[in-house]
């Protein structure tokens, strides 16, 4: 793009030189038409392109040196669509003679009517603005030191410049990139510059249609100073685009010729991004769950920088109902060194995420495509290895996946391929979460380490908001240390390693009533009345220690304590096969104590096995474990479950009594 701008400016410069040359030559010419072929031949030789002018030429000499040209055309090389690269319907310039003696340039008129520029890149990559002009063989030669010193800029050879009327009207620029399939068109281009001088700001009034959409630029630039390019240039401009967006740029261009830098305020007034994209006739870049988002956006910040570094300070951004304040800086763009400090008041991320979609079944096209993508080449971590980052983030309140958190504090750092999130903390559901995260991408596959600390979180509302089901309630505390390597699900399952422990207190397991199962079993054994309440197992304490390694998630002595009930569980979850093998041991005990009481009380134990795939596990009684452990007699059941006398029952074997108890624990169980 920089080369394109260079050539466009070169074309404009050629036109200006031609016109000024014409003005200088006019006093020496009597019959302009006589010299027209010579001028055309000269320009053709210098540019390597065909050049023609129309016959409508008008010349004035005194007191104004002036020339008016018509139908000026600079041709295209062979193989391009348009016949001409540049065409100007009419050009006129009038220059006052007498001030030239005092090195003052006073131009009364500089007008260009209906200029047309056609820029095209062919499918083979060749562009029509390339190769413009002949290359002097001497350009490649080294110039002697004396010649270089003579080329130093010693300032403008003029004392002042004044242009009363500078206008370009009804212009057109067409850009066509055949290789990229891109075509842009600027039509109805009008530019008026007022008060052009070296010591006063220049008034700019620019309007155009970009792909039939209005764009305008108004304001002041300058003054340029008596040594343009050496002096700082002030500007105060307002850009209006598509009737939707207003952007104000106010500041300075510093040292433009040697080390150009910008120091300015940027103010983007509130606008609708959706309307802006619609005006461009482009589809919105993402689908959101809430179609009303991105309707209100605004930005204000101070920008300072040059081609190698930039900083943003005093930043304020509005996105719908969200306000963000920020500061940031970036330098060494080839090896980005970025710092930022963001403070966000609140945001509902669920509004900006894609709409919820049904999970594709295994074997479906979308599922197969995802698997194919997952098995493809790994991501390129090269840019992350170069990144240097130090950022801070604070969020007052955030909603994501239907869960609400507050007081988010995070610091993100990266250097030499090692990234860290430390610290990271937030408050959620009357408790808190603190964590540190480290990711190392120095090798081919990333290595991740997570430390997690949970304290006082109300599990009931958390799980209800997360999965829209009542599974477990109580106060959650816990900790975990995990490491993993890789960037695919299978790699992470194979390499996941670590351990942790979760503890729930004063809560309940929803959907399962273990104590009720035991009471029903007792009732069927003649020891009481059955109950038919909503399944729920209250507990004083539920602990869940675990470890993971080599693709196996180990549950180690998980336990539940509740009045009259103890439950132990242990086993494995095979992550690669996605299968369970867990043994659960509910035990009826003779105590009303829960939390704080011993877990090794004697009592009636009815073990269960949970096996099968994660998606549809099977729960069945462990008869071998039950019989191997010995069944209690009726007196023992009476002692542990009820203090009433046992009703008269037929004598049966202990095995039959055990089967009745099992049927009560698992309603619907067949022999």
In a domain, 356, yes or no: no
Of residues 366, 370, 310, the one with CA closest to residue 340? 310
Of residues 89, 91, 92, the one with CA closest to residue 64? 92
Distances (CA, A) of 264 to 200, 252, 344: 20, 6, 24
Do residues 24 and 35 touch, judged by C-beta distance below 8 A?
no
Look at residue 172 in the predicted model and tell me its pLDDT: 94
CA distance 23 to 25: 6
Query: What string of H, E and C letters represents the secondary structure of 627-663?
Result: HHCCCCCHHHHHHHHCCCCCCCCCCCCHHHHHHHHHH
Of residues 61, 185, 165, the one with CA closest to residue 112? 165
Distances (CA, A) of 567 to 35, 514, 586, 600: 108, 9, 4, 10
Of residues 258, 174, 248, the one with CA closest to residue 208? 174
Q: Cite the DSSP H helix spans in 526-576.
A: none
Cβ neighbours of residue 114 under 8 Å, at least 6 residues apart?
A: 88, 89, 90, 169, 170, 171, 172
In a domain, 352, yes or no: no
Structure tokens, 214: 């209005």
Look at residue 376 in the predicted model and tell me its pLDDT: 53
- 3-state secondary structure at position 146: helix
Handedness of CA 388, 390, 395, 399 (dihedral sign): positive
Do residues 43 and 21 touch, judged by C-beta distance below 8 A?
no
The widest CA-to-CA distance across the chain, in whole angstroms, is 140
Of residues 531, 534, 580, 526, the one with CA closest to residue 553? 580
Helices and strands (H and E) in the chain: how many: 12, 32
Its domain, for residue 98, covers 1-129+159-194
Structure tokens, 437: 């995260």
What is the rounded (10 degree) CA torsion for 373, 374, 377, 381? 120
CA distance 569 to 566: 10
CA distance 604 to 589: 7
Q: Tell me whether strands 565-574 and 579-589 are parallel, antiparallel or unpaired.
A: antiparallel
Q: Which residues pair with 412 in a beta bridge?
A: 391, 421
What's the structural domain count of the chain? 1
CA distance 653 to 659: 10
Of residues 514, 575, 576, 583, the one with CA closest to residue 555? 583
Do residues 532 and 561 touch, judged by C-beta distance below 8 A?
no
**DSSP secondary-structure letter at 153?**
-
Look at residue 344 in the predicted model and tell me its pLDDT: 96
Of residues 659, 532, 662, 506, the one with CA closest to residue 588? 662
Look at residue 108 in the predicted model and tell me its pLDDT: 81
Of residues 453, 325, 345, 451, the one with CA closest to residue 395? 345
In a domain, 419, yes or no: no
Look at residue 657 in the predicted model and tell me its pLDDT: 43
In a domain, 513, yes or no: no
Q: Which residues of 361-392 are buried (b: 16+ CB within 10 A; e: fewer)?
A: eeeeeeeeeeeeeeeeeeeebeebbbbbbeee
Look at residue 263 in the predicted model and tell me its pLDDT: 95
In a domain, 446, yes or no: no
In a domain, 102, yes or no: yes
In a domain, 174, yes or no: yes
Distances (CA, A) of 670 to 520, 584, 621: 16, 19, 11
Distances (CA, A) of 94 to 62, 63, 389: 10, 10, 57
Q: Which residues of 79-104 are buried (b: 16+ CB within 10 A; e: fewer)?
A: ebebebbbbbbbbbbbbbeeeeeeee
CA distance 513 to 453: 30
CA distance 165 to 208: 19
CA distance 108 to 111: 10
CA distance 420 to 424: 10
Look at residue 21 in the predicted model and tell me its pLDDT: 57
Q: Tell me whether strands 160-163 and 104-121 are parallel, antiparallel or unpaired.
A: parallel
For 49, other C-beta atoms within 10 Å of its C-beta total 19
Look at residue 194 in the predicted model and tell me its pLDDT: 87
Q: Which residues pair with 567 in a beta bridge?
A: 560, 586
Do residues 610 and 619 touch, judged by C-beta distance below 8 A?
yes
Chain centroid to CA 117: 36
Residues of the chain with pLDDT under 70: 1-33, 61-64, 97-102, 133-160, 357-377, 512-534, 563-564, 588-606, 622-671
CA distance 589 to 636: 11
Residue keyed to tokens 């719908």: 320
Query: What string of H, E and C letters represents the secondary structure of 179-243?
Result: CCCEEEEEEEEEEEEECEECCCCEEEEEEEEECCEEEEEEEEECCCCCCCCCCCEEEEEEEEECC
In a domain, 625, yes or no: no
Cβ neighbours of residue 436 under 8 Å, at least 6 residues apart?
A: 420, 421, 422, 423, 424, 450, 451
CA distance 583 to 560: 14
Structure tokens, 580: 């369970």
């Amino acid at each position: 793009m920089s080369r394109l701008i260079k050539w466009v400016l070169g074309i404009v410069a050629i036109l200006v030189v031609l016109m000024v040359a014409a003005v200088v030559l006019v006093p020496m010419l009597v019959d302009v038409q006589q010299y027209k072929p010579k001028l055309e031949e000269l320009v053709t030789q210098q540019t390597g392109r065909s050049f023609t002018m129309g016959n409508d030429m008008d010349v004035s000499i005194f007191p104004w040196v002036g020339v008016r040209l018509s139908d000026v055309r600079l041709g295209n090389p062979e193989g391009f669509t348009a016949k001409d690269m540049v065409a100007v319907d009419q050009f006129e310039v009038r220059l006052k003679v007498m001030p030239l003696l005092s090195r003052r340039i006073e131009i009364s008129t500089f007008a260009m009517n209906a200029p047309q520029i056609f820029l095209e890149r062919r499918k083979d990559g060749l562009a029509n603005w390339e190769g413009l002009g002949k290359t002097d063989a001497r350009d490649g030669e080294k110039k002697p030191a004396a010649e270089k010193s003579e080329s130093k800029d010693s300032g403008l050879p003029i004392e002042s410049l004044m242009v009363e009327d500078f206008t370009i009207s009804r212009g057109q620029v067409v850009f066509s990139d055949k290789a990229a399939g891109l075509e842009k068109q600027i039509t109805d281009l009008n530019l008026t510059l007022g008060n052009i001088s070296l010591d006063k700001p220049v008034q700019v009034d620019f309007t155009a249609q970009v792909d039939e959409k209005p764009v305008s630029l108004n304001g002041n630039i300058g003054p340029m100073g008596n040594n343009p390019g050496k002096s700082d240039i002030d500007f105060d401009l307002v850009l209006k685009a598509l009737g939707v967006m207003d952007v104000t740029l106010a500041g300075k261009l510093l040292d433009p010729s040697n080390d150009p830098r910008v120091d300015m305020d940027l103010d983007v007034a509130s606008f609708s991004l959706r309307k802006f994209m619609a005006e461009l006739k482009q589809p919105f870049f993402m689908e959101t769950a809430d179609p009303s988002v991105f309707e209100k956006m605004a930005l204000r910040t101070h920008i300072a920088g040059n081609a190698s570094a930039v900083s943003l300070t005093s930043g304020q951004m509005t996105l719908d109902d969200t306000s963000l304040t920020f500061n940031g800086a970036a330098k060494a763009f080839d090896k980005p060194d970025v710092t930022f400090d963001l403070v966000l008041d609140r945001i509902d991320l669920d509004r900006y995420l894609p709409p919820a979609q049904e999970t594709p079944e295994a074997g479906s096209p979308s599922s197969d495509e995802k698997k194919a993508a997952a098995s493809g080449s790994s991501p390129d971590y090269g840019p992350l290895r170069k990144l240097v980052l130090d950022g801070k983030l604070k969020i007052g309140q955030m909603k994501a996946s239907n869960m609400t958190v507050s007081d988010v504090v995070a610091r993100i750092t990266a250097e030499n391929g090692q990234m860290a999130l430390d610290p990271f903390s937030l408050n959620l559901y009357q408790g808190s979460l603190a964590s540190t995260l480290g990711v190392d991408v120095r090798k081919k596959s990333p290595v991740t380490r997570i430390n997690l600390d949970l304290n006082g979180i109300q599990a009931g509302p958390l799980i209800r908001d997360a999965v829209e089901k009542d599974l477990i309630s109580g106060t959650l505390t816990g900790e975990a240390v995990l490491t993993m390597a890789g960037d695919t699900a299978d790699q992470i399952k194979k390499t996941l390693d670590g351990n942790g422990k979760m503890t729930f207190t004063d809560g309940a397991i929803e959907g399962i009533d273990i104590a009720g199962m035991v009471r029903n079993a007792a009732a069927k054994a003649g020891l009481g009345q059955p109950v038919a309440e909503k399944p729920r197992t209250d507990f004083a304490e539920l602990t869940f220690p675990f470890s993971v390694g080599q693709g196996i998630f180990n549950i180690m002595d998980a336990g539940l304590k509740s009045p009259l009930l103890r439950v132990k569980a242990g086993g494995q979850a095979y992550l690669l096969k996605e299968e369970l093998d867990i043994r659960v041991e509910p035990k009826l005990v003779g105590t009303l104590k829960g939390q704080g009481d011993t877990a090794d009380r004697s009592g009636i134990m009815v073990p269960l096995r949970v096996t099968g795939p994660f998606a549809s596990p099977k729960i069945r009684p462990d008869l071998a474990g039950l019989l191997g452990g010995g069944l209690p007699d009726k007196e023992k059941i009476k002692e542990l479950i009820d203090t009433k006398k046992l009703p008269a029952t037929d004598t049966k074997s202990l095995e039959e009594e055990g089967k009745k108890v099992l049927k009560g624990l698992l309603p619907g169980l067949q022999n």
